Structure 1
Amino acid sequence: MEAVGTFSWVVHGMEYFGTAEAHGFRVVGTPYVSKQATEIALRSGEADVKVDDFLGPVLLRDAGIAASGIYPYATAIGGLVVPVDSEIQSVADLAGATLAAGSLRDKSLLILRALTISEYGFDPQADGEVIAAAPPLMMQLTASGEAEAALPLWHWVARMEAAGVAREIMTVADMLGAMGLPSDLPNLVVVARDDMPDELKVAFLAALQDTIDVMLATPNDDPFWQTILDLELYSLPDASQFPQVVERWKLGTTSTWNQQTIDGLVAMVDRLVELAGPEVVGVEAVDPAAYSLDYLPR
């Protein structure tokens, strides 16, 4: 798991609330510094499970890593923000702008590019400048005006707004909606190695469901949330902002995982390829076998 990603909160919750033990296994959360590091851990067998974006299982398989998406994790990715005093009011104003994103492979950037190419006739990566920046640097660049817009993850949107650095002008979900695509599909999914024992996958998902249910019912001022900060599973310069971050996390959770979900993900990628081309999306199509319904707890 990424060191300060919210999946680390859930893994901690499995221990804190005893849900892993209740389902007969012990969970070991290993923090990694980046998404790429989690991919290496999954490839080597050092990790069995990770959270990745909706294209993650497809790209992992293309890279020779036998893994599948087995459950949804969240519908939220992030949003497009601009400095609070910016004249930019919508994505239509981004032509020629300097944009900060997590990486050039960032799925928020992919979806934004698909929207601007299909609806407004420009590519912010080709017609402007995209700076790859980690979230703290992204916040600094936005505050200074060096980045005229940014695509932070959802929890950094909350932090940047709470700090008075930026205002959100469009969520990634709304970008999908603007292209006529479903906005309630999981943008993040639980990915497991194919050789992880089936019964362990089922038990893990059962514990995951129970843990998230308990966390959703836990008030934002409950001591549990403070343990996340104490264990440095998330860091904030101002801890008083954390309840806003928690609330955003709660709003972005999802448990809908069925054939319609998988069909929707496949159709969404097909539409993105149609709108923006395989070069922008990174794949030509999605094999539905990259996602599985076989491990849902009965």
Structure 2
Amino acid sequence: MARQGDQRGRGAAARWALAGALLLAGQARAQRSISVGLQAGGTLAWVTYAIGYFGIDRDLGLKVNAKTYASKDATRVALRSGDAQVVVDDFLEVTLLRQKGFDVTAVYPFSLLTGGVIVPAASDIRTVADLKGKTIGATSLTDKTLLILRAYARAKAGFDPQTASQVASVSSPLMEQFMTRGEIQAGIPFWHHGARMVSTGKYRQLISSADLLRGLGLAPNVPLLYLIARNDTDPETLRLFVKAALLAEDRMKRDDGYWDAMLKEGLYNLPDRAQLPALRAQWAAGLPKGWSSADLNNTLLLTRKMIEVAGPDVVGLTRLDTRAFNTRFRP
């Protein structure tokens, strides 16, 4: 009996020791944390919310400290100060940030160049050539799809929309209203606004960004936005965050409950829930399939094409700094 009691005692001690070891291991894993800067209204907030919603942070032993900033410029300031270690920005901006002294690198593509040119469903505009002399709404003169449209129109239709048409500055949420009033005949809204407009049946896509790229002989799956990180971020923690983001995106594609929770959380304003399937489909279409030197080369070729058509003053740089991109953070 004494020997049985001793065995039970030793067994209990072993279990406690194992539990303690597992607890310490879990605590060690949970010590990895990363600060993420979110732009108000940006889709990185969807992903960081999904990481917590699906318990991916717990499973990977990663703490994601997400903070929302009012503008993209504010996220850049947060990145420079160290208040944020990772943000999302476009492929041109990472070069510009480094030129300004930001010690940062693009570590993984976040979103492809998607969307396109939208016109009213009943419009007589049928091809890009029909845009000549029309008023086109764009969020800015440096909008990437506008620059690609200019290159495409010059190559395929013999005119530059910047000079042979009128380009009006219109905020993306207001493009539908401006088009309805006839103040613009075509628009280049953000991808999610374009998806919602087309889903109503009142508008159609004249040409997609992918088809514009194909027409220029470029790959259609060029990354537009990247996860950009401070170079002093712990590499393993950064790699873990990239893995968490990819796992979250995969779950988001398949989980209806997530989208209900995300909308309830107020991370996106969607007054008409009937537009949700179109929103989800367009978001999924914009997810990069990987990250390789070929993707970087496609980005480089696109940048050269934009500089060629619009000039370095409009694009903001004379060449893309390929050293600003790093493919070694793939999970």
TM-score, structure 1 normalization: 0.91
Cα distance, 1:280 vs structure 2: 4.4
Does 2:159 align with 1:122?
A: yes
Does 2:296 align with 1:295?
A: no
Does 2:290 align with 1:256?
A: yes
**In structure 2, what is the Cα distance between the partners aligned to 1:37 and 1:139?**
28
More moved, 89-98 vs 40-49:
40-49
Does 2:241 align with 1:204?
A: yes
Structure that is richer in strand per residue: 2
Aligned partner letter, 2:276: F
**In structure 1, what is the Cα distance between the partners aligned to 2:106 and 2:306?**
19
Does 2:92 align with 1:58?
A: no
Cα distance, 1:149 vs structure 2: 0.8
**In structure 2, what is the Cα distance between the partners aligned to 1:205 and 1:71?**
7
Instruction: Kindly report the root-mean-square deviation, in angstroms, between the aligned alpha carbons of the 2 structures.
Output: 1.9
1:134 aligned to which of 168, 171, 176: 171
**In structure 1, what is the Cα distance between the partners aligned to 2:70 and 2:136?**
23
More moved, 28-37 vs 199-208:
28-37
For the 8 Å contact 1:2–1:31, the answer to whether it is kept is: yes
Does 2:278 align with 1:244?
A: yes
**In structure 2, what is the Cα distance between the partners aligned to 1:127 and 1:24?**
56
**In structure 1, what is the Cα distance between the partners aligned to 2:186 and 2:242?**
37
**In structure 1, what is the Cα distance between the partners aligned to 2:164 and 2:80?**
36
More moved, 251-260 vs 176-185:
251-260
Aligned partner letter, 1:137: L
Q: Decide whether aligned partners of structure 1 residues 41 and 120 sit closer, same or farther in structure 2, where only a CA change above 3 A counts.
A: farther
Cα distance, 1:180 vs structure 2: 0.5
The aligned runs of 1:175-190 (5 Å cut-off) are: 175-190=212-227
For the 8 Å contact 2:135–2:168, the answer to whether it is kept is: yes
Identity of aligned residues (%): 39
1:98 aligned to which of 115, 135, 146: 135
Cα distance, 1:107 vs structure 2: 1.2
For the 8 Å contact 1:11–1:27, the answer to whether it is kept is: yes
1:228 aligned to which of 254, 259, 262: 262
Could you list the runs of 5+ residues in structure 2 that have no partner in the other structure?
Answer: 1-37
The match for 2:315 is 281
Could you list the runs of 5+ residues in structure 1 that have no partner in the other structure?
Answer: none
For the 8 Å contact 2:141–2:314, the answer to whether it is kept is: no
1:265 aligned to which of 289, 299, 305: 299
The match for 1:78 is 115
Aligned partner letter, 1:226: D
Cα distance, 1:276 vs structure 2: 4.7
Larger radius of gyration between Structure 1 and Structure 2: 2
Aligned residues: 294
**In structure 2, what is the Cα distance between the partners aligned to 1:44 and 1:112?**
36
Deviations 1:253-296 (A, max 9, x none): 12310122222222332243345543443322212101002222
Deviations 1:196-225 (A, max 9, x none): 22222111111112111222232xxx2211
The match for 1:107 is 144
Aligned partner letter, 2:193: W
TM-score, structure 2 normalization: 0.82
